[in-house]
């Protein structure tokens, strides 16, 4: 079912942060730059929430803008669009002044605009351009560089991200070349015996592996988290554009090739989840632990998508929300602590920072618990759906998911204990607890995870519809082509 | 009032009060000690009255159980998560016990935790635990049991680390957390397998009852699920070889030790097995495993308990011994005996834990009453053993059966070694970063 927006909600939600990023970049006054960023992101969020409301009323429909056909909104991208803008807004408010510059805020605006363009893309060219745009702040435009901070993204991470873009371009080019007739749209499936389609699939999946940091490409995420600016990188990782590429392009456009190759990629996702979880057990540096746990939990998103069952895909889409909010919340608290203490935290010993920062401790703890699927948080329904949905198609997951989640739970709870509990270090005596601006944003994230855990239906409804549609298409192709 | 409303209020009252306390703290509202304690006491008095009303309804209705279905918590396609609560002759005694003991502990803690910096935190966690344990005992499906089970686990850990300004309680809490999470894998996987095998985890459809007259979960499927549930129960009930966490958990404040490790939390594992009794009864292998594990735990508990230098650790091992015996009773199928053993043991042990801080005072009083002629006790059976065996057992007991060493050496260390090896390979391949 096709519907149209008479007002360009989606275009404005992309254009406002994009235009604002140019103005903010040129500003000299930091508080004015932050205010402008917050206003631009709030406006973008408001437009998206209105559009989201329309989708919620007619969840089976696909909304395209009447003005032009570049952007679209449906049950699959409705929540990710709003969620990502909300995350950017939260980061813009929470970012400590310590290393903040107008160009840093402009980078967040740019990232928000381009990522939204990728989510809302209605054709392959827009998607490729938006993907490139989302990498630009980390590759060519030095948005996040600061005279006060020595943190830069390592060349190795930049190389991997650049390769992911090259791989995506080749994959899309092959996809278009293989079937000219199908055009650049995102609806018509390309099926049949065609080696070019298989090559296109392979390149697209390489792009996914590189961007998402699946094994063996996980190191770029860990190294970047360790050396680079934490909050922008958390946003980059939490856009989950790799998973979105699978859900929006690979699954619907290449259903038969995907069906044949899924066992390999599913195994790779599981291997990544286990590998990163085991590495996190030996890790001491908090930033690297964040990265490893985020990689491990995010890998399950792909496993869920690859299950091709409605329950598994819905679980993956809900886990996406949980991982995004929980890791951003934890990273924001950690970045705030680093700014207060002036350096990376040394967690070889207990630091006891909860002594004077109990609220920051609670926010961090809730993020930890949600990330690993503890009840009372949205993580619990997400993991329940994922487990129920994938076990039928991937029996190993039934064992691996609880084991990996248990390991990740230990890693994050140990990290929480090392930072916040134990005998307080000298610096803990003068630590300032959550500032008012931090308190409100972190409370919003806390409520999202908590209320989402108590009343998950509202957050599961749209992913469930998108999942049923994707699983239905996959089942139809399997039946039509009589695939094994 | 209808049974649906009563069962819902049972969970919502302590849960709601905990939410009020949590929201107040977040908003910076500071409550004085007295109303926090008094309202908690009032809350559990109300819960106790609700349980009494449920008893009345069950006894007068002549039904085997009261059952309330509140629809689906969430659903996707054919899969749904039912919100079903359930009260029968197995869960009601434990619901009564929970309400009563939390009420007693709330009254006791008002003075015991008085003026402690963590007073408010203690009562918030006590209420969170209350809602978790009541949800666990009143759950109408194994899915919902996981919710209660995990809430109990996390509050348990937060209370072990209650004295957070010292390193030792925090280290102990991490150990408890690791053991819980490792064993919870059994519960999670077991419940998912129930869905795979029979499409649901609701008691009314998995277990025999008067709603659905027989269990569809039989044969190898029942055995596999029962083994996984046993793993979960072993962790929570501190059974061999997962017993090392229990003495460490004594780092928490005494009222929480009483309610968690003397009364309710440690018995959650036994209740899980009692609830899954039809599955256990259908598998001789699992029943025998439960008996063997229970016996080994009882022997281990009684041996180690004799070498403990402090009262709370001694009580922890005494608890472990009784839990072992309860497991043996469950293995033999003596479910009613096991249930009353749980109730009696929880009441006695709570009393002992709450008296533990006054132990020396009590001892002096008894000593004085006996005119200074208190003899040594507990040596009767030890004397029957040869001297060398006594020494060997003493050394074994001093090291707590080498269980922690065994787990550290053969389970934890290989995983950590593997992790370090992988880390070294990564450093060699991509360098830097460490």
ipTM: 0.91
A37 Cβ contact list (under 8 Å, min separation 6): A20, A24, A92, A105, A106, A108, A109
Supply the pLDDT for residue B171: 94
Rounded CA separation A209/A160 (Å): 10
Give the model's confidence band at A456: pLDDT under 50 very low, under 70 low, under 90 confident, else very high.
very high
Closest Cα in chain B, distance from residue A87 (Å): 21
Supply the pLDDT for residue A106: 93
Q: φ, ψ for residue A71 (rounded to 5)?
A: -120, 150
Q: Residue B68: in which H helix or E strand, if any?
A: strand B65-76
Give the model's confidence band at A193: pLDDT under 50 very low, under 70 low, under 90 confident, else very high.
low
Put simply, the chain A residues between 274 and 333 with a CB less than 8 A from any chain B CB are 275, 278-283, 285, 288, 309-311, 314-315
Rounded CA separation A410/A389 (Å): 25
Give the model's confidence band at B214: pLDDT under 50 very low, under 70 low, under 90 confident, else very high.
low
Supply the pLDDT for residue B167: 92
pLDDT higher at A305 or B123: B123
Residue with tokens 């746990």: A293
- Residue B417: alpha-carbon gap to chain centroid: 32
B433 has a pLDDT exceeding 60? no
Phi-psi sector, B111: left (phi>0), alpha (psi -120 to 50), beta: alpha
Rounded CA separation A85/A48 (Å): 9
Rounded CA separation A298/A291 (Å): 10
Q: What is the DSSP-derived secondary structure letter of residue B87?
A: E
Which residues of chain A does B26 touch, with a Cβ-Cβ cutoff of 8 Å? 359, 362, 443, 446
- Going by C-alpha positions, the residue among A428, A413, A434 that lies closest to residue A345 is A428
Q: Residue B80: in which H helix or E strand, if any?
A: strand B79-88
Tell me whether residues A417 and B74 touch, CB distance under 8 A: no
A6 Cβ contact list (under 8 Å, min separation 6): A66
Rounded CA separation A254/A248 (Å): 10
Supply the pLDDT for residue B390: 87
Supply the pLDDT for residue A182: 60
Q: What is the dihedral of CA A427, A429, A435, A436, to 10 degrees?
A: 170
Supply the pLDDT for residue B213: 47
- Going by C-alpha positions, the residue among A126, A121, A269, A254 that lies closest to residue A200 is A254
Q: For chain B, say whether A413 makes contact (Cβ under 8 Å).
A: yes
Residue B50 near residue B6 (C-beta atoms within 8 A)? yes
- pTM of the model as a whole: 0.92
B57 has a pLDDT exceeding 80? yes
For A310, the closest of B76, B143, B148 (CB atoms) is B76
> Each residue of A235-269: pLDDT tens digit?
999 989 999 999 988 888 888 888 888 888 888 99
Tell me whether residues A403 and B177 touch, CB distance under 8 A: no
For B165, the closest of A414, A423, A443 (CB atoms) is A423
Give the max Cα distance, chain B.
Answer: 76
Supply the pLDDT for residue A177: 83
3-state secondary structure of B165: coil
Q: For chain B, say whether A384 makes contact (Cβ under 8 Å).
A: yes
Question: Is the previous residue joined to A216 through a cis bond, with omega within 30 degrees of 0?
Answer: yes
Rounded CA separation B233/B236 (Å): 5
Give the model's confidence band at A146: pLDDT under 50 very low, under 70 low, under 90 confident, else very high.
low
> Each residue of A352-407: pLDDT tens digit?
999 889 999 999 999 999 999 888 899 999 999 998 888 777 777 777 888 999 99
Distances (CA, A) of A457 to A45, A381, A454, B71: 22, 9, 9, 12
Q: Quick one: closest CA in B to A444, which residue? A: B26
Rounded CA separation A469/A374 (Å): 29
Q: For chain B, say whether A14 makes contact (Cβ under 8 Å).
A: no
Percentage of residues in chain B having pLDDT higher than 70: 96
A75 has a pLDDT exceeding 80? yes
Rounded (5°) CA angle A424-A428-A434: 130
Alpha helices in B277-412 (DSSP H): 277-281, 284-305, 311-332, 335-355, 359-369, 387-398, 403-407
Mean pLDDT of A441-466: 93
Which residues of chain A does B73 touch, with a Cβ-Cβ cutoff of 8 Å? 381, 456-457
Tell me whether residues A387 and B79 touch, CB distance under 8 A: no
For A402, the closest of B151, B170, B188 (CB atoms) is B188
Closest Cα in chain A, distance from residue B73 (Å): 7
B314 Cβ contact list (under 8 Å, min separation 6): B305, B308
Mean pLDDT of B69-93: 91
Give the model's confidence band at A418: pLDDT under 50 very low, under 70 low, under 90 confident, else very high.
very high
Look over chain B and give the mean of its residue pLDDT values, rounded to a whole number.
Answer: 90
Which residues of chain B does A392 touch, with a Cβ-Cβ cutoff of 8 Å? 196
For A423, the closest of B154, B157, B167 (CB atoms) is B167
> Each residue of B361-402: pLDDT tens digit?
888 888 888 888 777 766 677 778 888 988 899 999 988 888
Q: Take residue A242 and report the two structure tokens written for it.
A: 């790799």
CA contacts within 13 A on the Cβ side of A270: 23
Q: Residue B65: in which H helix or E strand, if any?
A: strand B65-76
β-strand pairing of A62-65 with A2-5: parallel
> Each residue of A99-109: pLDDT tens digit?
788 999 999 99
For A422, the closest of B151, B170, B196 (CB atoms) is B170
Rounded CA separation A327/A297 (Å): 10
Tell me whether residues B188 and A156 touch, CB distance under 8 A: no
Supply the pLDDT for residue B431: 65
Rounded CA separation A101/A145 (Å): 9
Which residues of chain A does B420 touch, with a Cβ-Cβ cutoff of 8 Å? 282
Rounded CA separation B223/B189 (Å): 13
Supply the pLDDT for residue A156: 87
pLDDT higher at A347 or A338: A338
Distances (CA, A) of B154 to A182, A376, B247: 53, 11, 17
Helix B167-198 to helix B219-236 angle, to the nearest 10 degrees? 170
Rounded CA separation A305/A110 (Å): 28
**Which of B21, B74, B76, B173 is the best substitution to test chain A (most A C-beta atoms within 10 A)?**
B76
- Going by C-alpha positions, the residue among B26, B11, B44 that lies closest to residue B110 is B44
Residue B174 near residue A414 (C-beta atoms within 8 A)? yes
For A281, the closest of B166, B196, B415 (CB atoms) is B415
Residue B129 near residue B178 (C-beta atoms within 8 A)? no
Q: For chain B, say whether A429 makes contact (Cβ under 8 Å).
A: no
**B139 DSSP β-pair partners:** B85
Q: φ, ψ for residue B340 (rounded to 5)?
A: -70, -25
**B74 DSSP β-pair partners:** B81
Residue with tokens 């649901």: B200
> Each residue of B17-51: pLDDT tens digit?
999 999 999 888 888 999 999 999 999 999 999 99
Give the model's confidence band at A192: pLDDT under 50 very low, under 70 low, under 90 confident, else very high.
low
Supply the pLDDT for residue A481: 64
Which residues of chain A does B77 touch, with a Cβ-Cβ cutoff of 8 Å? 309-311, 314, 464, 467-468, 471
For A278, the closest of B422, B429, B430 (CB atoms) is B422
Tell me whether residues A402 and B184 touch, CB distance under 8 A: yes
Which residues of chain B does A355 touch, with a Cβ-Cβ cutoff of 8 Å? 165
Rounded CA separation B235/A406 (Å): 14
Rounded CA separation A434/A423 (Å): 21
What is the residue-wise DSSP string for A339-368? HHHTS---TTS---GGGT-HHHHHHHHHHH
Supply the pLDDT for residue A186: 64
Tell me whether residues B77 and A423 touch, CB distance under 8 A: no
β-strand pairing of B65-76 with B79-88: antiparallel
**A121 DSSP β-pair partners:** A71
Q: What is the DSSP-derived secondary structure letter of residue B141?
A: B
Look over chain A and give the mean of its residue pLDDT values, rounded to a whole number.
Answer: 88
Rounded CA separation B31/B24 (Å): 8
Residue A44 near residue A116 (C-beta atoms within 8 A)? yes
> Each residue of A91-143: pLDDT tens digit?
999 999 877 889 999 999 999 999 999 999 988 899 999 999 999 988 876 77
Which residues of chain A does B423 touch, with a Cβ-Cβ cutoff of 8 Å? 279, 282-283
- Going by C-alpha positions, the residue among A251, A153, A388, A22 that lies closest to residue B196 is A388
Handedness of CA B386, B389, B395, B397 (dihedral sign): negative
Rounded CA separation B240/B256 (Å): 23
Alpha helices in A246-307 (DSSP H): 251-253, 255-282, 286-306
């Amino acid at each position: 079912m096709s519907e149209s927006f008479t007002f360009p909600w989606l275009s404005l939600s992309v254009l406002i942060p994009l235009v604002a990023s140019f103005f903010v970049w040129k500003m000299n006054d930091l508080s004015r730059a932050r205010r402008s960023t917050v206003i631009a992101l709030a406006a973008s969020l408001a437009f998206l929430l209105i559009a989201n409301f329309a989708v919620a009323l007619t969840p089976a429909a696909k909304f395209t803008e009447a003005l032009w056909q570049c952007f679209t909104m449906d049950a699959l991208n409705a929540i990710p669009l709003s969620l990502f803008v909300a995350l950017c807004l939260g980061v813009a408010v929470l970012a400590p002044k310590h290393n903040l510059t107008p160009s840093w805020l402009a980078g967040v605006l740019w990232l928000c605009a381009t990522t939204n363009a990728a989510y809302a893309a209605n054709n392959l060219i827009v998607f490729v351009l938006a993907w490139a745009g989302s990498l630009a702040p980390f590759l060519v435009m030095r948005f996040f560089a600061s005279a006060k901070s020595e943190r830069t993204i390592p060349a190795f991470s930049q190389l991997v991200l650049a390769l992911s873009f090259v791989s995506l371009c080749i994959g899309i080019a092959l996809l278009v070349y293989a079937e000219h007739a199908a055009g650049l749209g995102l609806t018509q499936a390309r099926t049949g015996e065609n080696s070019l389609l298989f090559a296109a699939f392979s390149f697209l999946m390489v792009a996914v592996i590189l961007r998402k940091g699946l094994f063996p490409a996980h190191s770029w995420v860990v190294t970047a988290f360790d050396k680079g600016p934490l909050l922008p990188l958390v946003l980059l990782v939490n856009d989950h554009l790799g998973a979105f590429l699978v859900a929006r392009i690979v699954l619907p456009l290449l259903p038969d090739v995907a069906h044949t190759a899924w066992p390999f990629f599913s195994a790779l996702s599981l291997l990544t989840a286990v590998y990163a979880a085991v590495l996190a057990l030996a890790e001491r540096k908090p930033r690297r632990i964040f990265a490893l746990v985020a990689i491990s939990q995010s890998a399950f998103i792909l496993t869920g998508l690859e299950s091709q069952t409605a329950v598994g895909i819905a679980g993956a889409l809900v886990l996406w929300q949980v991982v995004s909010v929980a890791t951003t919340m934890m990273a924001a608290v950690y970045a705030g602590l680093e700014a207060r203490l002036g350096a990376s935290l040394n967690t070889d010993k207990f630091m006891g920072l909860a002594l004077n920062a109990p609220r920051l401790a609670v926010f961090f703890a809730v993020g930890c618990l949600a990330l690993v699927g503890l009840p009372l948080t949205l993580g619990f329904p997400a993991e329940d759906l994922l487990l129920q949905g994938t076990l039928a198609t991937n029996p190993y997951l039934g064992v691996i998911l609880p084991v990996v989640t248990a390991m990740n739970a230990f890693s994050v709870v140990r990290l929480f204990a090392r930072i916040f509990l134990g005998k307080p270090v000298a610096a803990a005596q003068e630590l300032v607890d959550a500032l008012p601006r931090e308190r409100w944003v972190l409370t919003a994230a806390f409520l999202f995870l908590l209320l989402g855990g108590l009343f998950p239906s509202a957050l599961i409804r749209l992913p469930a519809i998108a999942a049923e549609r994707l699983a239905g298409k996959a089942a139809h192709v399997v039946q039509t082509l009589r695939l094994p | 009032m209808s049974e649906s409303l009563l069962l819902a209020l049972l969970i919502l009252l302590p849960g709601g009060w905990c939410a009020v306390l949590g929201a107040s703290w977040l908003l910076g509202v500071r409550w004085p000690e007295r109303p926090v304690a008094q309202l908690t006491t009032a809350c559990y008095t109300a819960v106790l009255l609700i349980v009494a009303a449920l008893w009345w309804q069950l006894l007068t209705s002549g039904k085997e159980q009261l059952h309330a279905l509140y629809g689906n918590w969430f659903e996707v396609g054919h899969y749904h998560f039912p919100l079903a609560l359930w009260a029968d002759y197995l869960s009601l005694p434990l619901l009564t016990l929970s309400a009563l003991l939390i009420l007693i502990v709330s009254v006791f803690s008002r003075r015991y935790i008085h003026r402690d910096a963590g007073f408010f935190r203690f009562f918030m966690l006590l209420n969170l635990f209350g809602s978790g344990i009541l949800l666990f005992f009143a759950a109408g499906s194994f899915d919902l049991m996981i919710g209660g089970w995990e809430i109990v686990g996390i509050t348990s850990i937060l209370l072990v680390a209650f004295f957070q300004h010292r390193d030792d309680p925090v280290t102990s809490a991490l150990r408890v957390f690791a053991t819980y999470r490792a064993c919870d894998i059994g519960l999670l996987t077991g419940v998912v397998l129930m869905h795979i095998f029979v499409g649901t985890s609701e008691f009314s459809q998995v277990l025999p009852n008067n709603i659905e007259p027989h269990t569809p979960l039989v044969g190898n499927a029942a055995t596999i699920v029962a083994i996984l549930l046993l793993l979960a129960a072993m962790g929570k009930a501190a059974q061999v070889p997962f017993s090392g966490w229990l003495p460490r958990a004594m780092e928490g404040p005494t009222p929480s030790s009483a309610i968690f490790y003397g009364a309710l939390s440690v018995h959650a594992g036994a209740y899980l097995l009692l609830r899954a009794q039809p599955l256990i009864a259908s598998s001789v292998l699992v029943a025998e495993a439960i008996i063997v594990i229970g016996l080994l735990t009882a022997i281990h508990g009684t041996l180690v308990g004799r070498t403990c230098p402090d009262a709370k650790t001694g009580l922890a091992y005494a608890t472990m011994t009784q839990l072992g015996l309860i497991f043996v009773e469950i293995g033999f199928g003596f479910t009613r005996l096991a249930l009353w053993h749980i109730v009696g043991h929880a009441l006695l042990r709570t009393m002992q834990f709450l008296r533990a801080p006054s132990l020396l005072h009590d001892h002096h009083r008894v000593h004085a009453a006996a005119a200074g002629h208190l003899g040594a006790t507990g040596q009767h059976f030890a004397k029957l053993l040869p001297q060398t065996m006594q020494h060997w057992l003493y050394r074994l007991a001093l090291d707590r059966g080498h269980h922690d060493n065994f787990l550290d050496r053969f389970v934890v260390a290989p995983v950590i070694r593997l992790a370090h090896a992988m880390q070294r390979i990564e450093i060699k391949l991509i360098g830097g970063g460490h």
